[in-house]
Amino acid sequence: MIKTDPAMTRSQIQTLTLTIAQINPTVGDIEGNLAALRTARDKARGGAESGTGSGAGSPHVVVGGELAVAGYPPEDLVLKTAFQDRVEAGIHALAVETADGGPALLVGAPWRDTESSDRRQLRNAALLLGNGRLKAAGFKHDLPNYGVFDEKRVFAPGPLPSPMTITGDPPGVRLGVMICEDMWTPGPAAALKEKGAAILVVLNGSPFEAGKTGERLALARARVAETGLPLVYVNLVGGQDELVFDGASFILDGRGELRLRAPSWEEAVIPTIWRLKDGAWAPDPGSVAEPLEPLETVWRALVTGLRDYVNKNHFPGVLIGLSGGIDSALSAAVAVDALGAGRVHCVMMPSPYTSKESLEDAAEAARLMGVRLDTIPIDAAMNAFDAMLKEAFVRHPVDTTEENIQARARGVILMALSNKFGHMVLSTGNKSEMSVGYATLYGDMCGGYSVLKDVYKTMVFELSHWRNRRGRVIPERTITKPPSAELRPNQTDQDSLPPYDQLDAILRCLIEKEMSLGEIAGEGHDPETVQRVWRMLDRAEYKRRQAPPGVKITRRAFGRDRRYPITNGFTGHI
């Protein structure tokens, strides 16, 4: 068994209360984030006083997530001196409040390290507040600088961490505090074990990706196996621009057994009781939330990302062009689950090419979801553009130019309604379309957010079936009919694209796996199709740079995850 600090005997401390504060901060809302931490501390103190804690005189600490005071990720906002000043003032005020005899607080915040060589190094910090003061500060050692992470841009790395001691009456339990990425490699945990830590505590801002929950748990178990120490993992929850945080905080005992798991996608304040036995700390069993099935996890990610983007940016609701197709219907369903039907306004904008079935399906979807649906035909706009451009287009045949004008006319209508009434336009394009540029700039791409931006078309169908099994909101014909933009007679997506099952399989190889064209063809795909898809993906970069943000659910979403040049002379060959 791992021994505690020699100065601490079994007669001195028998129990410890450690409360997980899984909160949803907003980047830049320092006062609001501090208020959320205060609320969590008040709940934790109330639980201790009602008998669920370890009792008067025993150590008690409330642990929040990474950079919870500032919100995560703060990006370049954290470089503003005024922002740093306000964070520090808020921390010192919060520290004073801990003189009331309640729990200590272990919180994440950006912090200027005045003891560094240049005396003003900015660190990603874990701060221990107790007995009315700032008692200890620890700094993130491993700064991630890949994918969506740019921490080396704004923070200086700290040294290998040392334990922090929390006190009761008498003192003291040594916590081995790490910050997020520090758990992903063995070094920080080993250093804490060597310096006498009794419990590993990890403050996290770990964004959601499909399949990542198991990876986190495996890495935590690896650190437990290496050190023999129990581990507390506290994650953020909620949406921040394109990132979503799924919570799912957990505790492992010294054997790596799961003793508690907080619910995913929900804020939670959970007190846990620890007992000293044979010189080592062990947590009492707690509630272990069952993991969600994969499609429900993705659905909750989309709902959380959209809800927090709309609410944290103070939009009254969303505006959706409801076409009768599956993408707009699924986007509306996510919006209703995120915001409620009363905050979702849909508009059908038919053209002469819009089928009777699409009109019926859009109306039926709106009825099933209980949302407002207005109809604004675009015939007059099409005729006006035809007349305006007739002389310029003389002797040139009709082509995709006229199709794009239809999409742009719809975009103008949606943006006009948004400007007039304040609702944010929700773009409805999916990852398959955005990959190959099957979308119109300033047309169906316009909007403030794209909930399906990282969802392949094949998953659009899967999610639609999944949601309907929990209460039908999407007409069956919308799911089963061939997808079409309906910009010309008898048009289907497959006129321009490979079948979606083939397209998505090739795109996953190109985007998520970065496979060569030859490797992809070697998996059984037609070489000419692979070459064509790669060419479309490459040439559409300029469109994606102008696309709205959207929820990240895969390992490699468009945007900060995948940064390709627009001007690009490289050509791939099989």
Of 488, 502, 455, give the one whose Cα is nearest residue 330: 455
Our CA dihedral for 348, 349, 352, 357, rounded to 10 degrees, sits at -20
For residue 399, what is the DSSP state?
Answer: -
Q: Where a domain ends, among 489, 510, 540? A: 489
CB within 8 A of 254, min separation 6: which ones? 1, 2, 224, 228, 229, 230, 280, 282
Q: 570 lies in a domain?
A: no
Q: How many CB atoms lie within 10 A of CB 512?
A: 14
Do residues 205 and 274 both lie within one domain? yes
What radius of gyration do the chain's Cα atoms show?
A: 27
Do residues 24 and 61 both lie within one domain? yes
Do residues 328 and 445 both lie within one domain? yes
Per DSSP, the three-state class of 80 is coil
Do residues 173 and 312 both lie within one domain? no
Mean pLDDT across the chain: 91
Instruction: Give pTM, 2 decimals.
Output: 0.92
Q: 90 lies in a domain?
A: yes
CATH of residue 212: 3.60.110.10
Mean pLDDT for 67-73 is: 96
Q: Where a domain ends, among 489, 519, 549? A: 489
* Structure confidence at residue 497 as a pLDDT band (50, 70, 90): confident
Which pLDDT does position 559 carry in this prediction? 86
Give me the residue label for tokens 């094949």.
Answer: 458
User: 125-181: per-residue pLDDT in tens?
Assistant: 999 999 999 999 999 999 988 888 889 899 999 999 999 998 754 457 899 999 999
Q: How many CB atoms lie within 10 A of CB 255?
A: 12
Do residues 320 and 201 both lie within one domain? no
Do residues 188 and 249 both lie within one domain? yes
Do residues 209 and 346 both lie within one domain? no
Q: 529 lies in a domain?
A: no
Is pLDDT of 6 > 60? Answer: no
Which pLDDT does position 149 carry in this prediction? 86
CATH of residue 411: 3.40.50.620
Which pLDDT does position 3 carry in this prediction? 34
Q: 520 lies in a domain?
A: no
Which pLDDT does position 10 carry in this prediction? 42
- Percent of the chain scoring above 70 in pLDDT: 92
For residue 454, what is the DSSP state?
Answer: T
Number of domains forming the structure of the chain: 2
Residue 427, CA atoms < 13 Å, CB-side half-sphere:
31
Which pLDDT does position 567 carry in this prediction? 86
Residue 570 CA: distances (Å) to CA of 427, 527, 556, 561, 564: 31, 18, 21, 20, 11
Measure the CA–CA gap between 469 and 448, rounded to whole angstroms: 30
Q: 391 lies in a domain?
A: yes
- Percent of the chain scoring above 90 in pLDDT: 79
User: 524-551: per-residue pLDDT in tens?
Assistant: 999 999 999 999 999 999 999 999 999 9
Q: 45 lies in a domain?
A: yes
Q: Provide, for the chain, the percentages of residues in helix, strand and coil under a 3-state DSSP scheme, each rounded to the nearest 5.
A: 40, 20, 40
Which pLDDT does position 491 carry in this prediction? 62
Range(s) of the domain holding residue 477: 296-489
Do residues 390 and 267 both lie within one domain? no
Do residues 129 and 156 both lie within one domain? yes
Do residues 344 and 212 both lie within one domain? no
For residue 293, what is the DSSP state?
Answer: P
Q: Cite the active site residues.
A: 66, 140, 180
Do residues 373 and 468 both lie within one domain? yes
* Structure confidence at residue 561 as a pLDDT band (50, 70, 90): confident
Q: 190 lies in a domain?
A: yes
Is pLDDT of 235 > 90? Answer: yes
Q: 395 lies in a domain?
A: yes
Mean pLDDT for 335-347 is: 98
Our CA dihedral for 213, 218, 221, 222, rounded to 10 degrees, sits at -140
User: 78-122: per-residue pLDDT in tens?
Assistant: 999 999 999 999 999 999 999 998 899 999 999 998 776 665 699
Do residues 301 and 279 both lie within one domain? no
